[in-house]
Amino acid sequence: MRRSLVVGNWKMNGSRDKTRALLGEILAGLGQLANVDVGVCPPYVHLPDASELLKGSSVLLGSQNVADQDEGAFTGEISAPMLLELGCALAIVGHSERRMVYGESSALVAARYAKAIQHGLVPILCIGETLEERESDRTFEVIGEQLDAVLNSSGVASLTKAVIAYEPVWAIGTGKTASTEQAQEVHAWIRAKIAKLDASVAEKIQILYGGSVKGDNAAALFSMPDIDGGLIGGASLDANSFLKICHSA
Ligand code: PGA
């Protein structure tokens, strides 16, 4: 059976004080969870504080992106070795806000993914369609291309060291969650696509759902056979909501 994973994507929110307070509340309320891993991805500048606070706990630390290079003249980028030094275990790559607001191509996302894999940082590869793409029946074409960019450059075996997050762009931060059936349909499609290349990798890969997951819809989403947890934005900034989601997994 696959373990579940719930990861908070804090995006560009908080402050040093808020990071300490939020993590304190999460650690106090988490308790013992069977078969569920929990992670948080604070902004880069708050990783050192978070790392300190999470020492000795089971909560995984993650970054919101990772450079496609190891070091050098790449202003504004943070490399996998730097993140590992701070105790990061996870790195989100290809979030739709990176793809759409900052123009990251699938090729760049694949290069970031490859660097994470190379250094032993687990990439959480985000894929998902826009509303326009869904309404023009292009959902599977779009997420197929996003997946292929990574499969063609890093190979299917790399997925044994990665996590996929299906995040329909129209559901992110909008309050419009995909229905359990809509989400399950895409998760099953992703798993079947991987299974065509390697059935055992497909069986093991954790596929998270992201997009307006809240305390009151998490349990239904997580009960679907191909949904192995969630990537949580807005609701991860409130300890009670995040803890409720973690306990639903
Ligand atoms: P949301 O964001 O939960 O606020 O919709 C999810 C995400 O962007 O990962």
Residue pair 122/162 in contact by the 8 Å Cβ criterion: yes
Could you identify the atom of ligand 1 that is nearest to the CA of residue 97? Answer: 8
Residue nearest to atom 3 of ligand 1 (CA): 233
Task: Write the pLDDT tens digit of every residue in 7-24.
Answer: 999 999 999 999 999 999
Q: Which tokens sit at 219?
A: 């349990």
Fold of the 4-248 domain:
TIM Barrel (3.20.20)
Whether 133 is catalytic: no
Q: Which tokens sit at 181?
A: 């059936």
Residue pair 115/84 in contact by the 8 Å Cβ criterion: no
19 lines ligand 1 (CB under 6 A): no
Coil, helix or strand at residue 243: helix
167 lines ligand 1 (CB under 6 A): yes
Give backbone dihedrals phi and psi of 225, rounded to 5 degrees, phi first. Answer: -60, -30
Please state the domain extents for the chain.
4-248
Q: Is the pLDDT of residue 226 over 90?
A: yes
Residue nearest to atom 9 of ligand 1 (CA): 233
173 lines ligand 1 (CB under 6 A): yes
Residue pair 5/208 in contact by the 8 Å Cβ criterion: yes
Interhelix angle 139-154/106-119, rounded to 10 degrees, is 40
Task: Write the pLDDT tens digit of every residue in 110-132.
Answer: 999 999 999 999 999 999 999 99
Coil, helix or strand at residue 193: helix
- Strand positions, DSSP E, the chain: 4-9, 36-41, 60-63, 90-93, 122-127, 163-166, 206-210, 229-232
Scored b (16 or more CB within 10 A) or e, 46-57 reads bbeebbebbeee
Specify which residues 92 forms β-bridges with. Answer: 124
Q: Which residues contact 139 (CB under 8 A, 6 or more apart)?
A: 129, 133, 186
Q: Is the pLDDT of residue 177 over 90?
A: no
Other CB atoms within 10 A of residue 192 CB: 12
Q: Which tokens sit at 103?
A: 């123009």
Whether 167 is catalytic: yes
Task: Give the pTM.
Answer: 0.97
Confidence of residue 175 (pLDDT cuts 50, 70, 90): confident
Q: Which tokens sit at 40?
A: 């948080």
241 lines ligand 1 (CB under 6 A): no
Distance 222 CA to ligand 1 centre (A): 16
Distance 175 CA to ligand 1 centre (A): 9
230 lines ligand 1 (CB under 6 A): no
User: Pick the catalytic residue: 95, 97, 104, 129?
Assistant: 95
